[in-house]
Structure 1
Amino acid sequence: MTIPLSILDLSPISEGSDAPTALRNTIDLAQHAEQWGFKRYWIAEHHFVAVASSSPAVLIGQIAAATEHIRVGAGAVQLGHTTAAAVVESFGMLDAFYPGRIDLGIGRSGQRRREAARKTQEPKTKQPEPKPEPQWRNVDGLVIPPPFDIRSIITDRLRAQMTVLQQPEAQSPDFAEQVDDILAMLRGCYRVKDYDLHVVPGERTALTPLVFGSSKGQSAQVAGARGLPFVASYHITPATALEAVEAYRNAFQPSQYLQQPYVMVSADVVVADDTATAKHLASSYGNWVYSIRKGGGAVPYPDPDKTEPLNDEQCPVVHDRVATQFVGDPDVVAERLETLQRVTGADELVITSVTHRHTDRLRSHELIAKRWGVTG
């Protein structure tokens, strides 16, 4: 039986275009996604880069208003930049307008970057022990590259950006504490000292938090221990997605939300009518990822007709992401998605697809929807 297929969208801004156009394109793609049978349409949260999805809750409301039944949500709200109360209030309001259609996805990305930034500034007391060079692996047909060191993208520019996303001198609580606060607020049993606090709207809604994670660390452990659905990020961190899924399943405890683990895994795809066309459309993807890892954030998505290939020094910086992008005609991409599902045991797959032209992105989603046989 074919498992559900969902979409994660960044509202990417293409080279020569602008944010309003990207947002209109997102609404258009969401409407088509509903017609084609995708189960969910999620919005990522990014700031100060050439993607327009900086405020997921606002955009989710617009998408839900423009569609009728597809589930709409965040993939994911970065808890390191906000408070539990603000998250429950905003998504509670969305649920009040569109009951049963809103997904509350949460992640610790902002917190993780702050931790990495602090580590890069800490004085080194001794030289670390040399470790064996990580190797590329093939697990039953699924490519697993060596891990990418996130500390290499922590620049002064990124540190400056992070200071703007919080009030001066604010400190984010631990991720697990924030998740527990969200769950208590949703259940209507949240207390501060001797006082009951009731989050309105939000309390007693049917919202089920979904936790996004990239490794076997805290996110996977928290999702499993609290019996929440878990989304493993193969499209961003392909090196550690399998261990994240394993850690989640090992930590899982039944809850009011789930009796069994529920795993969703993401993949970056580009589909076209033939593989040669798909490879051309995806040829500027490496340049885009390079801008994220070396330029301080995603640049407007490059036009493949005008973009020069990366040189020999640049290619290794993005090789893990390029090699794990699923590119080809519908049969090629469906086969790789089937491999991803088989190896991870995913209950649902989430695709993200970025191309320079909106028409090509529409076609990419349409082709894989028809080939996969999605039914919503």
Structure 2
Amino acid sequence: MTVPLSILDLAPIPSGGSAGDALRNTIDLARRADELGYRRYWLAEHHFAAGVASSAPAILIALVAAATGRIRVGSGAVQLGHQTPLAVVEQFGLIDALHPGRIDLGLGRSGQRRAELKAKAAANDGAPPAAGVTGSRVVDGLLIPPPFDWSQLVKVPELAFQASLLQQPGAQAPDFADQVDEIIAFLRGTYTSPDGLTAHAVPGEGADIELWVLGSSGGQSAQVAGERGLPFAANYHVSPSSVLEAVAAYREAFKPSEVLAEPYVVVSADVVVADDDAAAAELAKPYGLWVRSIRSGRGAIPYPSPEEADAHVWSEQDRALVADRLDTQFAGSPQTVADRLRVLQRVTGADELLVTTITHDHADRVRSFELLAGAWV
């Protein structure tokens, strides 16, 4: 089965480039994606990253929606720990008022996830690595690598400092499920406080917005999406070790709703396509160095060139830090990548695939999406 393809864009800043370059590249790529027939174009939310310009997805979504005519545009994802449900609904309602029927609101956890990882890090401090998680496995042709230990990352002091800057002093993110319920209520015009007071989001109430939940595991995000009958996006490109668990948990929890009669799953993949496998491998060289910058707690660096990647001296610790991401990146000719994406779709049962691609040169990134669209028939 050939399922639709969509795009996830981080507005990457290449080495030697600027945020303005990255944002202009995003607009250009979105216009080309619109022409090529991609179903939707999602913008991520990242902060304190020298190599990523997508810090305010609602603003960038509005710009992309204004520059395109057919493609759905949305967030992948708004991090709910950083703002209130009302603020999110008002922002996306405003965009929908100008571009009705084309806006997706993807929701992700942030504050709660950080708290869970800090607790795990504290509990495991000084303990040996868990047994049984060292090896990769192949499920019907799909590589499932061992899990990456995110709990170690929250020990980086800069991350706690940065997190504090994203919230008002003393603020605590409410439970994710409660936040999602509030967003649904504001969109439907049914929001009522515990003591019976009502509030209405203007714009936002009654907006023709498609609501999504994004998740990387079989935890709360998958549960919330399933129990509320919302579509769910699972991250193979960020957390490939748990994609099958995430999809299974969502489907098990699913209850039919006004939105969906059956589960609907999107699965993401990191992709680089070129005319042949060797050319794609050359373009993909910087990916490991870029992922290393994220997982070391520094935040995404400006995306290196292949020459800059060649100059880096890799240690065994470096390689272990990024192995799961490198092993699950789909880089190759159009046929090579299309074949691997079909395996991902078949094994996960995805109803749609969400492709993210980063190269140093913008023209190579546009060409990658052009080649993939041509091979995906």
Asked if Structure 1 and Structure 2 have the same fold, meaning a TM-score greater than 0.5 normalized by the shorter chain, the answer is yes
Letter of the structure 1 residue corresponding to residue 363 of structure 2:
T
Query: 1-side partners of 2:105 and 2:130: how far apart?
Result: 41
Alignment of 1:61-80 (within 5 A): 61-80=62-81
1:135-188 Cα offsets, whole Å, 9 max, x none, are: 210001100001001112121011110000000000110000000111111111
The alpha carbon displacement at 1:194 in A equals 1.6
**Partner residue, 2:203:** 201
**Partner residue, 1:306:** 308
Alignment of 1:78-93 (within 5 A): 78-93=79-94
Query: 2-side partners of 1:318 and 1:151: how far apart?
Result: 15
**Partner residue, 1:10:** 10
- Identical-residue share of aligned pairs (%): 58
**Partner residue, 2:338:** 334
Say if 1:79 and 1:111, in contact at 8 Å, map to a contact too.
no
Matching of residue 371 in structure 1 with residue 372 in structure 2: no
Alignment RMSD (CA, Å): 1.6
Matching of residue 156 in structure 1 with residue 160 in structure 2: no
The alpha carbon displacement at 1:219 in A equals 0.3
The alpha carbon displacement at 1:306 in A equals 2.6
Letter of the structure 2 residue corresponding to residue 8 of structure 1:
L
Alignment of 1:223-372 (within 5 A): 223-307=225-309, 308-309=311-312, 310-372=314-376
Letter of the structure 1 residue corresponding to residue 24 of structure 2:
R
Normalization by structure 2: what TM-score?
0.96
Letter of the structure 2 residue corresponding to residue 156 of structure 1:
P
Specify whether residues 172 and 109 from structure 1 end up closer, same or farther in structure 2 by C-alpha distance, changes over 3 A only. Answer: closer
Say if 1:153 and 1:296, in contact at 8 Å, map to a contact too.
no
The alpha carbon displacement at 1:123 in A equals 9.4
Q: What is the total number of aligned residue pairs between the two structures?
A: 372
2:306 is paired with a residue of what secondary structure? coil
Say if 1:44 and 1:77, in contact at 8 Å, map to a contact too.
yes
Say if 2:136 and 2:145, in contact at 8 Å, map to a contact too.
yes
Specify whether residues 128 and 183 from structure 1 end up closer, same or farther in structure 2 by C-alpha distance, changes over 3 A only. Answer: farther
**Partner residue, 1:39:** 39
Structure 2 regions of 5+ residues with no counterpart? none
Say if 1:208 and 1:228, in contact at 8 Å, map to a contact too.
no
The alpha carbon displacement at 1:128 in A equals 8.1
Query: 1-side partners of 2:163 and 2:29: how far apart?
Result: 30
**Partner residue, 2:21:** 21
Q: Which runs of 4+ in 1 moved over 4 A?
A: 121-124, 126-130
Specify whether residues 94 and 240 from structure 1 end up closer, same or farther in structure 2 by C-alpha distance, changes over 3 A only. Answer: same
The alpha carbon displacement at 1:110 in A equals 4.0
1:205-250 Cα offsets, whole Å, 9 max, x none, are: 2223100000000000000000000000000000001110000000
Say if 2:238 and 2:325, in contact at 8 Å, map to a contact too.
yes
1:241-286 Cα offsets, whole Å, 9 max, x none, are: 1110000000000001100000000000000011101001101100
**Partner residue, 1:168:** 169
Specify whether residues 189 and 315 from structure 1 end up closer, same or farther in structure 2 by C-alpha distance, changes over 3 A only. Answer: same
Matching of residue 100 in structure 1 with residue 101 in structure 2: yes
Letter of the structure 1 residue corresponding to residue 171 of structure 2:
A
Specify whether residues 251 and 270 from structure 1 end up closer, same or farther in structure 2 by C-alpha distance, changes over 3 A only. Answer: same
Letter of the structure 2 residue corresponding to residue 346 of structure 1:
A
1:185-213 Cα offsets, whole Å, 9 max, x none, are: 11111011221111111111222310000
1:264 is paired with a residue of what secondary structure? strand
Query: 2-side partners of 1:258 and 1:45: how far apart?
Result: 26
Letter of the structure 1 residue corresponding to residue 374 of structure 2:
K
Structure 1 regions of 5+ residues with no counterpart? none
Query: 1-side partners of 2:122 and 2:162: how far apart?
Result: 16
1:94-134 Cα offsets, whole Å, 9 max, x none, are: 1111000000000103431243235435796x968953344
Letter of the structure 1 residue corresponding to residue 83 of structure 2:
T
Say if 2:286 and 2:308, in contact at 8 Å, map to a contact too.
no
Normalization by structure 1: what TM-score?
0.96
